[in-house]
Amino acid sequence: MAGFGDIVQKAFYLGVGIASYAGEKASGTIAELRSQAQKLADEMVARGEITAEDAKRMVDEMVNRAQRATDALRPLINPPPLDASKF
């Protein structure tokens, strides 16, 4: 039977793995968002609903908002290492 320390260690490593995976997915998602937003903006420009300058601003703003949200969550996804000297 695994000791309590082994279970805690495995749970910790599982958490680190999940956080790492979430960080990688967040980076990929922003690239996908930019691509999708650009397609939408291009369609709107083609239909004459917005100008090319407005489309660029719209895409940049969408990506910037997503990046700020990701940056705000990054400390939760990848917390700084614990300082063992404080224990």
Q: Is residue 62 part of a domain?
A: yes
Q: What is the pLDDT of residue 53?
A: 92
Q: What is the pLDDT of residue 25?
A: 67
Q: Distance between CA atoms of 29 and 16, rounded to whole angstroms?
A: 20
The boundaries of the domain holding residue 69 are 30-76
Of 80, 76, 82, the C-alpha closest to 22 is: 76
Q: Is residue 47 part of a domain?
A: yes
- Structural domain count, the chain: 1
Q: Is residue 18 part of a domain?
A: no
Instruction: Check whether 1 has a pLDDT greater than 60.
Output: no
Number of Cβ within 10 Å of residue 41's Cβ equals 21
Q: Is residue 44 part of a domain?
A: yes
Q: Where are the alpha helices (DSSP H) in the chain?
A: 4-46, 52-77
Contact between 18 and 39 under an 8 Å Cβ cutoff? The reply is no
Instruction: Grade residue 37 by pLDDT with cuts at 50, 70 and 90.
Output: confident
pLDDT digits (tens, 9 = 90+) for 53-67: 998 998 888 888 888
pLDDT digits (tens, 9 = 90+) for 19-35: 666 666 666 777 788 88
Q: Is residue 72 part of a domain?
A: yes
